[in-house]
Amino acid sequence: MMKDIIDEIYELGYKGSRTQAYHNINLIKEEFEIYTPDFAQIQKSRIPYIKPLSSRKLAKYIGCCPTVIKDPDDRKYLQTLLDNISELPVIQKLVQIFSTMIRTGRGNINRRIEFIKRSKYKMVGLTTFANGLLRDIKAVKNGIHMSWSNGAVEGHVNRIKSIKRQMYGRACFDLLRKKVILSQTG
């Protein structure tokens, strides 16, 4: 702050030394009883730092009410985001509705997709998501309304791919086959 004042004085034509400028400014401050906080006092008055949410935590919390969040810093940060980003409460409500649809097996997915597409907010990510749902709307409706799932099959495929990645370039197909078969038993 003092440096800025001295720089401004130099721009106005001051030819003396910085030490003399500091001295004269301090005399003026004493004479007119001007108080300026020093750096340590400015640092103390700063707003305390709150660790921002990771994208993973934000994705986890966006579907729930902030009062459910146990960590007070996370709760405060999410509430600050909800208060200051006008689209976020709308996105939160849409996520909650979609989650309820999946959990209960009831709801009109077409109505939600149309809402997202016609929204006055610029929700690029949700619009892309809605377009993706529309491309395979029959499968989405079946996923919501039917109790069947291919999760177990996907889990086995993931396990086999993990084993394959671990063995990449190390052995032949026969060894991979044995390892996959043995990994199923335990």
Q: What is the pLDDT of residue 46?
A: 56
CA atoms within 13 A on the CB side of 48: 4
> Domain for residue 116, yes or no?
no
> Domain for residue 155, yes or no?
yes
> Domain for residue 8, yes or no?
yes
- Label each residue of the chain as H, E or C: CHHHHHHHHHHCCCCCCHHHHHHHHHHHHHHCCCCCCCHHHHHHCCCCCCCCCCHHHHHHHCCCCHHHCCCHHHHHHHHHHHHHCCHHHHHHHHHHHHHHHHHHCCCCHHHHHHHHHHCCCCCHHHHHHHHHHHHCHHHHHHHHHCCCCCHHHHHHHHHHHHHHHHCCCCCCHHHHHHHHHHHHHC
Domain count, the chain: 2
In angstroms, the CA 160 to CA 65 distance is: 38
> Domain for residue 91, yes or no?
no
Between 40 and 124, name the one with better pLDDT.
124
> Domain for residue 6, yes or no?
yes
Look at 14-28, 30-44, 105-119, 172-186 and tell me which has the smallest mean pLDDT.
Answer: 30-44
Between 46 and 125, name the one with better pLDDT.
125
> Domain for residue 111, yes or no?
no
Q: Model-level pTM greater than 0.75?
A: no
In angstroms, the CA 66 to CA 77 distance is: 9
**pLDDT tops 70 at residue 98:** yes
Sign of CA dihedral 175, 180, 184, 186: positive
Between 35 and 162, name the one with better pLDDT.
162
Domain that residue 172 falls in: 151-185
Q: What is the pLDDT of residue 49?
A: 66
Q: At what angle do helices 124-135 and 137-145 cross, to 10 degrees?
A: 90
**pLDDT tops 90 at residue 64:** no
Task: Tell me if 173 sits within 8 A of 146, measured CB to CB.
Answer: no
> Domain for residue 34, yes or no?
yes
60's tokens: 């986890």
> Domain for residue 125, yes or no?
no
162's tokens: 């993990």
